[in-house]
Amino acid sequence: MGMINIIIDGQKTAVSEGTTILQAATELGIKIPTLCHHPDQAVKANCRICVVEVDGYGTLVPSCAFPVFEGMNVKTHSPKVRSARMHLLELILARHAQDCLHCKRSGHCELQTVCEDMHFVKTPRYPYVARSNEIDDSSPSIVRTESKCIACGRCEYACTKVQTVDAIAKANRGFHVKYAPSYGRPLVQSTCVNCGQCAQACPTGALTSNDNTDRVWGALGKKLVVAQVAPSVRINIAEALGEAPGTISPGRLVTAMKRVGFDLVFDTDFSADLTIMEEGTELLGRIKNGGVLPMITSCSPGWIKFCETFYPDFIPNLSTCKSPQGMFGALIKTYYADKIGKAPEDIFSVSVMPCTAKKFEAIRPELGRDGYSDIDVVVTVQELSRMIRAAGIDFKNLPETEFDKPFGLGSGAGEIFGATGGVMEAALRTVYEVVTGETLANVEFEAVRGFDGIKEATVSIGGTDVKVAIAHGLGNARKLMDALRSGEASYHFIEIMACPGGCIGGGGNPIKDWKKMDARLEAVYRHDKELPLRKSHENPAIKAIYEEFLGEPNGHKSHELLHTYYTDRSNLLK
């Protein structure tokens, strides 16, 4: 590919053929404001806030979509450009709600940032006319606030192109354009799988996670508030509080939560290890006894709902294991409640998760018994970071505190659940040693790691070649499931995560791009190496709970508490 010589704001540079003006300016350290542009999405050129002046062109051009050419002379902040951008901002703000002070995205809103960077301090000439006053909070996971939408199209791209769910689409034209579920349905009646990737893509507060922090604040000091913390939370919480992506902070996280007021903070790595014991045993049973294959993991509730909606014929292939959240919730309200002499209703069980779909999972009727839910509230990484800030806690300078016992010990196998391929690798570490009776020389299964959309591997276990596949992001899951449905592909074991990158890319995390994801992924495997235990079946806390309470993996008690069933939701497609 050849190099092209251009001039941007008087600076001469050479860039590769096919480079856009926006990319070339960024390489020179020149910041051009953007709103509809997203580094992980295709170019849309909807908002036009990135327009620039190019010599020889009578009109301004969108820098995000305009490729460079030899000898091009670009002005990114000329009076003509600045006037046009200011006018565009006025038009955008004429349709955008003015409630920044109590918006969930305040301080992290891209529209707010553009206004600040452009020093937009004047009163807009156009009166504010709300796009719509509709607030759709029907979903337990996502809230859609129409008045804050800027019609950039990023949510539609995430939902349609990346996740292939098609729960949100463009409707109407011109002044009345909006992005919403089809036929005027609320989100809860759409094909939405609660993954939250639309909220991750949204530049404003038009799509946000359904905030449950008020319920937690209301329980603190009134009930025994017990929290479980997912593996990827310790990877992402420091980032949410202003530190570099990939900063690992389990000890400071526990300290912060105790200072907020949580009575007990447990480690979901423990129930991830428990999941491996149950799921690994289930897989071995299916292989030996002619059960339904391939067996597909059930840890990702967004994937589970996707399967229930689009591929209900594969429900028998899903592992019957609850997710680590579901298993932990059941143990807290049964085994642990009995252990400390508390009635289940006297314990307020909180899950801290990277995932907005966990909010939906928590209210599934099968995750509870005797009229109560195993998990009372799910809060995301974003929500917990707001609670920590509200409590005036200086997270960066906190001392370390260990997770509470008896559920404070998890292995590296549990930790890597946070990354795509992690559940598969954790299962292989255990299944290999259980079947062969041999110690793995190398516990790191490199073939199942990384961000390739679909990964395949064949692992020899006790003389049997076990074919496995991993997919992350529901667009990739759809490709894999279509191949299975048509008979083009055949496996023994499949891991699917709804979110691109796995849990470290979940909808409830700090807003991401793939550069941040690289740092998060590196942190997951670094933390795995740092932990004293790296295999689920070697965790003494896991051994103890089977000896004391559960009996054996896939036994009667385990099936009663740790396994579940699924529901055909294909009616949502009608």
Structure-block tokens of residue 110: 């891209």
The residue annotated as part of the active site, out of 503, 512, 535, 536, is 503
Active site residue 383: no
β-strand partners of 472: 497
Name which of 143, 198, 136 is nearest 167 in CA terms.
198
Active site residue 239: no
The residue annotated as part of the active site, out of 361, 415, 433, 495, is 361
Give all strands (DSSP E) within 96-186, no chain letters.
135-136, 142-145, 169-171, 178-180
> Which are the contacts of 461, defined by CB distance < 8 A and separation ≥ 6?
428, 431, 432, 435, 436
Q: What string of DSSP letters covers 251-293?
A: HHHHHHHHHHT-SEEEETHHHHHHHHHHHHHHHHHHHHHT--S
Q: What are phi and psi of 224, to 5 degrees?
A: -75, 110
Kind and range of the H or E run holding 82 = helix 79-93
Query: Strand 178-180 vs strand 169-171: parallel, antiparallel, or unpaired?
Result: antiparallel
Active site residue 47: no
Give, as one character, the DSSP assignment of residue 152: -
Angle between helices 324-331 and 269-289 (to 10 degrees): 110
The residue annotated as part of the active site, out of 299, 307, 355, 499, is 299
The residue annotated as part of the active site, out of 146, 282, 425, 433, is 282
Structure-block tokens of residue 174: 């011109």
DSSP-derived 3-state class of residue 516: helix
- Rounded to 5°, the CA angle 409-415-418 comes to 145
Active site residue 278: no
Omega of the bond leading into 406 within 30 degrees of 0 (cis): yes
Active site residue 361: yes
Active site residue 116: no
Name which of 550, 567, 566 is nearest 278 in CA terms.
550
The residue annotated as part of the active site, out of 90, 243, 366, 456, is 366
Query: Strand 11-16 vs strand 464-472: parallel, antiparallel, or unpaired?
Result: unpaired
Q: 71: how many CB neighbours lie within 10 A of its CB? A: 11
Structure-block tokens of residue 536: 């689920």
CA 530 vs. chain centroid, Å, equals: 24
- Rounded to 5°, the CA angle 274-275-279 comes to 125
Active site residue 155: no
Sign of CA dihedral 346, 232, 423, 565: positive
For the chain, count helices (H), then strands (E).
20, 20
The residue annotated as part of the active site, out of 322, 358, 455, 535, is 358
Active site residue 358: yes
The residue annotated as part of the active site, out of 209, 232, 319, 536, is 319
For the chain, the helix, strand and coil percentages under 3-state DSSP, each to the nearest 5: 40, 15, 40
Q: Say if CB 194 and CB 168 are below 8 A apart.
A: no
Name which of 233, 226, 269 is nearest 252 in CA terms.
233
The residue annotated as part of the active site, out of 146, 239, 279, 308, is 279
For residues 283 and 286, give the distance between their C-alpha atoms in angstroms, rounded to a whole number: 5
CA 235 vs. chain centroid, Å, equals: 13
For residues 315 and 568, give the distance between their C-alpha atoms in angstroms, rounded to a whole number: 8
- Greatest C-alpha distance within the chain: 80
Q: 564: how many CB neighbours lie within 10 A of its CB? A: 21
Buried b (16+ CB within 10 A) or exposed e, 486-517: eeebebbbbbbbbbbbbbbbbbbbbbbeeebb
- Enumerate the active-site residues: 279, 282, 299, 319, 358, 361, 366, 503
